[in-house]
């Protein structure tokens, strides 16, 4: 559930002021500013958070989970090529750029005015380090050359739900095609209140040889709505079973080091949970 924002500041001149509110496209964009931390609300829902002083800090736990997965397979500070489907304030690509200089990332969103606004408000990396692209996420993914990216992130919601085409078997097939050997697909799935992330896990298992799930225990048990991170990948060309196990063990260790550790489902548990 989104937390209530503070009093609105309806001056539409872009400014990093607490309560600044404007409309981008057909979405209300609102800021909460608390010293160096800024939270972005879209239509009242807490949608992104940035530290203006430390770009590498990620407040949202699901973004921390994704970063743990990435770091296990592509250790810091190795540069990456990443496609982000869904942009908002670009907190995740901003953090990865700070941790991995030389990376090339593209963030795609349908809301062109929002892309312009966040570029003007925040110290986002300039192109080609971070390209902001106004495009439908499905169209963008369909146009990617095979094996182009190390990492693809899907974090797209409309009124709190990911559009159906991005939750389909076709999405997972296209994502698999767009990743290089060793590449990782990281998906932010809603789960609960009529939305079942297990269906997406089943689709991923059909297209990827390695699939894992990360979330809070109560979310996985169906006790409350929350974020489920789906991580799917192909092995590196020279990777054997021992190395694969070592990579995922490192993911598990990284998650345990977080302030609020998540539950990590290994291969067998992921398949059981998805049934």
Q: What is the Cβ-side half-sphere exposure of residue 96, based on CA atoms within 13 angstroms?
A: 32
Indicate if the pLDDT at residue 168 is higher than 70. Answer: yes
Give the distance, in angstroms, between the CA of residue 240 and the centroid of all CA atoms in the same chain: 28
Architecture of domain 61-274: 3-Layer(aba) Sandwich (3.40)
- What is the per-residue DSSP string for 64-88? HHHHHHHHHHS-TT---EEEEE--T
Q: What is the pLDDT of residue 5?
A: 44
Q: What mean pLDDT is predicted for residues 5-24? A: 77
Order across the sheet with 263-265: list the strands. Answer: 130-134, 104-109, 81-85, 149-154, 179-191, 226-233, 210-215, 263-265
Which tops the pLDDT comparison, 125 or 10?
125
> For the ranges 93-102, 107-116, 213-222, 246-255, which has the lowest average pLDDT?
213-222
Indicate if the pLDDT at residue 81 is higher than 50. Answer: yes
Q: What is the pLDDT of residue 28?
A: 97
> For the ranges 28-32, 191-195, 205-209, which has the lowest average pLDDT?
191-195
The residue extents of the domains of the chain are 61-274
Q: What is the pLDDT of residue 4?
A: 40
Q: What is the pLDDT of residue 9?
A: 54
Q: How confident is the model at residue 12 (pLDDT cuts 50, 70, 90)?
A: low
Q: What mean pLDDT is predicted for residues 266-274? A: 98
Indicate if the pLDDT at residue 159 is higher than 90. Answer: no
Is the preceding omega at residue 77 within 30 degrees of 0, hence cis? Answer: yes
* Residue among 45, 43, 47, 75 at smallest CA distance from 59: 47
The two tokens of residue 158 are 């409309």
What is the rounded CA–CA span in Å between residue 204 and residue 185?
Answer: 9
Give the distance, in angstroms, between the CA of residue 85 and the centroid of all CA atoms in the same chain: 8
Q: How confident is the model at residue 11 (pLDDT cuts 50, 70, 90)?
A: low
Indicate if the pLDDT at residue 1 is higher than 70. Answer: no
The two tokens of residue 203 are 């689709």
Q: What is the pLDDT of residue 45?
A: 93
Order across the sheet with 37-42: list the strands. Answer: 21-24, 27-34, 37-42, 45-51
The two tokens of residue 53 are 């002083």
Q: What is the average pLDDT value for the chain, to the nearest integer?
A: 95
How large a percentage of the chain has pLDDT more than 70?
96
Q: What is the pLDDT of residue 193?
A: 85
What is the rounded CA–CA span in Å between residue 164 and residue 161?
Answer: 9
């Amino acid at each position: 559930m989104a937390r209530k924002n503070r009093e609105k500041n309806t001056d539409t001149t872009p400014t990093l002021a607490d309560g600044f509110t404007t409309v981008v496209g057909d979405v209300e964009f609102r800021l909460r500013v608390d010293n160096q931390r800024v939270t972005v609300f879209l239509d009242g829902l807490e949608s992104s958070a940035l530290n203006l002083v430390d770009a590498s800090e990620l407040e949202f736990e699901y973004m921390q989970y994704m970063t743990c997965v990435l770091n296990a397979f592509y250790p810091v500070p190795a540069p990456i090529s990443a496609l982000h489907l869904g942009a908002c304030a670009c907190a995740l690509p901003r953090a990865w750029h700070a941790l991995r200089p030389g990376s090339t990332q593209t963030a795609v969103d349908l809301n062109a005015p929002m892309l312009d606004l966040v570029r003007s408000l925040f110290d986002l990396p300039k192109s080609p380090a971070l390209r902001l692209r106004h495009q439908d996420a499905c169209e963008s993914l369909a146009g990617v050359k095979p094996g182009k990216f190390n990492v693809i992130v899907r974090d797209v919601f409309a009124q709190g739900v990911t559009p159906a085409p991005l939750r389909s078997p076709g999405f997972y097939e296209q994502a698999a095609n767009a990743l290089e050997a060793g590449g990782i697909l990281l998906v932010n799935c809603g789960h609960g209140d009529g939305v079942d992330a297990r269906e997406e896990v089943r689709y991923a298992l059909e297209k990827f040889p390695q699939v894992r799930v990360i979330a809070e225990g109560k979310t996985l048990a169906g006790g409350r709505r929350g974020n489920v991170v789906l991580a799917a990948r192909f092995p590196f060309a020279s990777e054997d079973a021992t190395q694969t196990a070592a990579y995922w063990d490192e993911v598990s260790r990284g998650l345990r080091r977080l302030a609020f550790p998540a539950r990590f489902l290994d291969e067998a548990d992921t398949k059981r949970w998805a049934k």
